[in-house]
Structure 1
Amino acid sequence: MSEAAEVRSFWQELGLPGLVDVHTHFMPERALAKVWAYFDQVGPLTGRPWPITYREAEEQRVLRLREFGVRAFTSMLYPHKPGMAAWLNSWSADFAARTPDCLHTATCYPEPEAAGYVAKALADGARVFKCHVQVGDYDPTDPLLDAVWGQLAEAGVPVVTHCGSGPSPGKHTGPGPIAAVLARHPALRLVVAHLGLPEYREFLELAERHREVRLDTTMAFTAFSEELAPFPRDLLPRLAALGDRVLLGSDYPNIPYPYLAQLRALADLGLGEDWLRAVCHDNGARLFGLPAADTPGRRGAER
């Protein structure tokens, strides 16, 4: 069976109309080439190689997600220095216009222009933002971002944020800085990337304290991540209780294993089919207001 057939079989057996993946990467080719070059050299940071499984042309990467049956995905992109974000947002708006199943994604950086180009991105229809505290090496409490967080909170637009300290800690990673942002902007729809790896417990507590905080599963529970930062099994009941605020994320295409590995890792947690359905599709579909799709005989629908 092909990989695409196996992925489709996974969600079809759950009675879903497909998958919603909130953490996939598409960006300008020269920017993506630099990201891949980083991962090619990331071994010294993690102590192990990080091969890119889907090192393919953009058109093929989009086609593959469609073959997998991913109904909606994102173009997570992020600047590492000032002066990049507006350019990335322009590219991403064009990508979303020509890729209707991609949720229009935008980004930002602490700089004087940030509030202006974030307002433009929102006016242009951005549906999700990406912030990468680790790569950007900035403090999320920077006053230059305060208006941005306020804009996103008021608009109710989710912001997927890499604020955990994996795979290697940064000066501003960890739960403290982003918790300070939430104290000032409690309505912010923060999506903590990678379940906050490796600070799983602290970010789970953050989600328990803030109703609008969500967690994405990106790379969590896979054999690759479990060797680096195993998820404490005593936290599984609390993760199950947050089942309506956990979202499927994969990090496609920048993953060192097949896409199916993420799905199987979630299934192997033993949290039940209702939890899997919510995580793999329903929570994301509800968050982004996706139109209803025909759902063949969902098992357990009558329960």
Structure 2
Amino acid sequence: MDEPEKVRAIWTQLGLPGIIDVHTHFMPKNVMDKVWQYFDSQGPLIGREWPITYRADEAQRVATLREFGVRRFSSLVYAHKPDMAAWLNQWARGFANDTPDCLATATFFPEPSAAGYVAEAIATGTQVFKAHIQVGNYDPNDPLLDEVWGLIEDAGVPVVIHCGSGPVPGPHTGPDPIARLLGRYPRLALIVAHMGMPEYAPFLDLAERYEQVRLDTTMAFTPFVEALMPFPAAEIDRLKAMGERILFGSDFPNIPYTYAEAVHHLIDLPGVDDTWRRNVLHDNAARLFGLS
């Protein structure tokens, strides 16, 4: 059985129409090339190599997700400096227009123009934002983002936010800045990327406290991450109880193992049932994004 058949067998046996993957990356080629260079150089920082399993051209990567039976995915672009987010948003809008199974995605950065281009992104149908606190190296509570968070909160558009301190910490990563942010904007629909690794428990706390906070499974529970930042066994019961607030994410194409492995390690978690699996792989995201 080849890899697409393995992935399709999982969701078929669960009675699903496919998978919804909220955490995938499509970017302009020059930006993706730099991202891949970053991962190629990360071995010394995290203590092991990080090969890119799906290093291929854009058309092949889209085709691969479709072969897996991924019904919807995202083009999580993110800015690491000023004067970058607006043109990334233009690119992502064009990509979504040309790729109807991609959720319309946008990003932002703390800069004076942010509120303007975020308002435009919302008006033109953005379905999900991406914020990368680690790479962007900014405080989510930067005053330049106050209007941005207000606009996003009022619009109810979800934000996939990389705010945990894995794989390497940054000055503004961890649960405390997000706790302060949610204290100011409690209706924000945040999707905490990577289950908040390695601060899994504090981010579960925030999801329990704020009903619009969710977590995505990106890279969590895989042997690659478990060797470095294991999910605590003591939190498995809470993970199961929050089955309607967990969304599947893969980090495709930037993963150092296969997509089938990521899905298998998720559905093989101890004690989860088929309702939990269906919710996480598809139904939670379908509800969040209003998909039939």
Match of residue 297 from structure 1:
none
Matches within 5 A, 1:77-156: 77-156=77-156
**Quick one: distance in 1 between partners of 2:72 and 2:238?**
27
Q: Does 1:253 align with 2:265?
A: no
Q: Does 1:275 align with 2:273?
A: no
TM-score, with length taken from structure 2? 0.99
**Quick one: distance in 2 between partners of 1:44 and 1:155?**
41
**Structure 1 stretches (4+) deviating beyond 4 angstroms?**
none
Deviates more, 1:267-276 or 1:125-134: 267-276
Structure 1, unaligned stretches of length 5 or more?
292-303
Deviates more, 1:235-244 or 1:109-118: 235-244
Match of residue 217 from structure 2:
217
**Quick one: distance in 2 between partners of 1:261 and 1:110?**
36
**Quick one: distance in 2 between partners of 1:265 and 1:211?**
27
Match of residue 158 from structure 1:
158
SS of 1:228's partner is coil
CA drift at 1:135: 0.0
SS of 1:244's partner is coil
CA drift at 1:162: 0.2
CA drift at 1:45: 1.0
SS of 1:82's partner is coil
**Quick one: distance in 1 between partners of 2:86 and 2:158?**
18
RMSD: 0.5
CA drift at 1:261: 1.1
SS of 1:9's partner is helix
SS of 2:24's partner is coil
Q: Percent identity?
A: 63
CA drift at 1:282: 0.1
**Quick one: distance in 2 between partners of 1:240 and 1:143?**
37
**Quick one: distance in 1 between partners of 2:261 and 2:186?**
34
**Quick one: distance in 1 between partners of 2:107 and 2:151?**
13
**Quick one: distance in 1 between partners of 2:56 and 2:4?**
16
CA drift at 1:159: 0.1
Match of residue 171 from structure 1:
171
TM-score, with length taken from structure 1? 0.95
**Quick one: distance in 1 between partners of 2:16 and 2:169?**
37
Deviates more, 1:165-174 or 1:236-245: 236-245
Q: Does 1:284 align with 2:290?
A: no
